Amino acid sequence: MKYDLNLLPVFVALMEERNVTRAAEQLGMTQPAVSNALNRLRETLRDPLFIRERYGMKPTEMAEALAPVIRGALASLDDVILGQQAFDPARATRQFTIAPNSYVEFVLMPVIVARLRECAPGIRLRLTPFGNDLAETGAISGATEMVLGRIVEPPDNMVVQHLMDDGLACVVRKDHPEITESISEERYQRMRHVNVLPPGRMRVGLFQMLQQAGLRRDVSVSVTHFLAVPEMVAVTDYCATLPRLICHRLARDPRLKILPAPVDLGSFPVELAWHVRYRNDPAHRWLRSLISEVAKEVSDAAVPEAMAGN
């Protein structure tokens, strides 16, 4: 039997999205084109494949059985084809969709973009929200090519690489009336705090660290991004507990003072994850290597200074 290989990515997109419109958006096709491809798949395989329900489409037993086989076949084809292609970063033109969490967007992405401008000016980045899970970011489907942050419970079709570790420190305003060189546990718990609630699992990590250390916070305001913290802290007597590399950046602000946390709150990992289909993609491999180098350089350069205060 002859198969139209162009239909297989449509099948995978429908399995992931369970919706013709969203599958069309993922593939860059029109909705009628996806519907037509689905009809051709049904005729070829002699199975409905997807049953329409109130809130989407439910795969049939045959579709469920075929999904891992087709995903594996497409990944193998990518490995063979992409692995044979040469990659010249100075001449390459390509756009990558990357999902960094707010920490990575603040700490690493400016350096990554500057590095690309120097050695690969034709490479463009499209940043998409990190989201609450890998499915939401589009990483599990491969629509998003890389995820940067804390990767928790990745599925089998995702590869995870450790980039670096970071710890936590505190930031207060420079002329805080009660704080000089350090913050005691008792004072930390009496102070009012600015809390950062970025999307994803990093919020869980910070809360767990504080709980394990037996520290409580009187949270006066919660914000959604690290960029909101300097203005909040600079005009109040509040304290914010942030990653050390964030504090390293904020130390340049003359209105602020960086201090060690009252107790050692441990560290958290920063990781890079991607779909297995990109494993042997030369351009993807090159960009992964560049990101890894940048992470090491930023981490190594900031460690001696991040805890020095200002």
Q: Are residues 61 and 133 in the same domain?
A: no
CATH of the domain at 60: 1.10.10.10
CATH of the domain at 294: 3.40.190.10
Instruction: Categorize the per-residue pLDDT at 157 as very low, low, confident or very high, splitting at 50, 70 and 90.
Output: confident
Lowest-confidence region among 25-39, 44-58, 84-98, 264-278: 84-98
Q: Are residues 206 and 277 in the same domain?
A: no
Considering only residues 192 and 68, tell me which one the structure prediction assigns the higher pLDDT.
Answer: 192
pLDDT at 14 over 70: yes
3-state secondary structure of 179: coil
- What's the rounded mean pLDDT across residues 157-185? 91
Residue 138 lies in a domain: yes
Q: From its phi and psi, is residue 63 left (phi > 0), alpha (psi between -120 and 50) or beta?
A: alpha
Q: Are residues 182 and 249 in the same domain?
A: yes
Lowest-confidence region among 55-64, 74-83, 121-130: 74-83
Q: Are residues 173 and 260 in the same domain?
A: yes
pLDDT at 55 over 80: no
Q: Are residues 301 and 157 in the same domain?
A: yes
Whole-number Å distance between alpha carbons of 83 and 280: 5
Residue 51 lies in a domain: yes
Q: Are residues 196 and 260 in the same domain?
A: yes
Last residue of a domain, one of 56, 83, 110: 83
Lowest-confidence region among 112-121, 139-148, 244-253: 139-148
Please state the domain count of the chain: 3
Considering only residues 45 and 81, tell me which one the structure prediction assigns the higher pLDDT.
Answer: 45
- What's the rounded mean pLDDT across residues 200-215? 71
Q: Are residues 224 and 284 in the same domain?
A: no
Residue 1 lies in a domain: no
Percent of the chain at pLDDT > 70 equals 91
Give pLDDT, residue 189. Answer: 93
Whole-number Å distance between alpha carbons of 237 and 211: 23
Q: Are residues 257 and 291 in the same domain?
A: no
Lowest-confidence region among 159-173, 197-211, 221-235, 257-271: 197-211
Last residue of a domain, one of 83, 116, 141: 83
Considering only residues 207 and 89, tell me which one the structure prediction assigns the higher pLDDT.
Answer: 89
Last residue of a domain, one of 83, 111, 129: 83
Q: What angle do CA 54, 58, 63 make, to 5 degrees?
A: 165
pLDDT at 78 over 80: no
- What's the rounded mean pLDDT across residues 43-70? 90
Residue 109 lies in a domain: yes
Give pLDDT, residue 305. Answer: 47
Whole-number Å distance between alpha carbons of 60 and 159: 28
Q: Domain range spanning residue 113? A: 94-164+269-306
Q: Are residues 228 and 242 in the same domain?
A: yes
Residue 249 lies in a domain: yes
Tell me, yes or no, if the pTM score tops 0.75.
Answer: no
Q: Are residues 172 and 256 in the same domain?
A: yes
Q: For 245-284, what is each residue's pLDDT tens digit? A: 999 999 999 999 999 999 998 889 999 999 888 888 889 9
Give pLDDT, residue 271. Answer: 96
pLDDT at 106 over 50: yes
Lateral strand order in the sheet of 158-166: 123-127, 94-100, 146-149, 268-275, 158-166
Q: Are residues 106 and 74 in the same domain?
A: no
Sign of CA dihedral 28, 30, 34, 40: negative
Q: Are residues 236 and 172 in the same domain?
A: yes
Residue 19 lies in a domain: yes
Residue 123 lies in a domain: yes
Residues 6+ apart with CB under 8 A from 167: 243, 244, 261, 264, 265, 266, 267, 268
- What's the rounded mean pLDDT across residues 94-123? 94
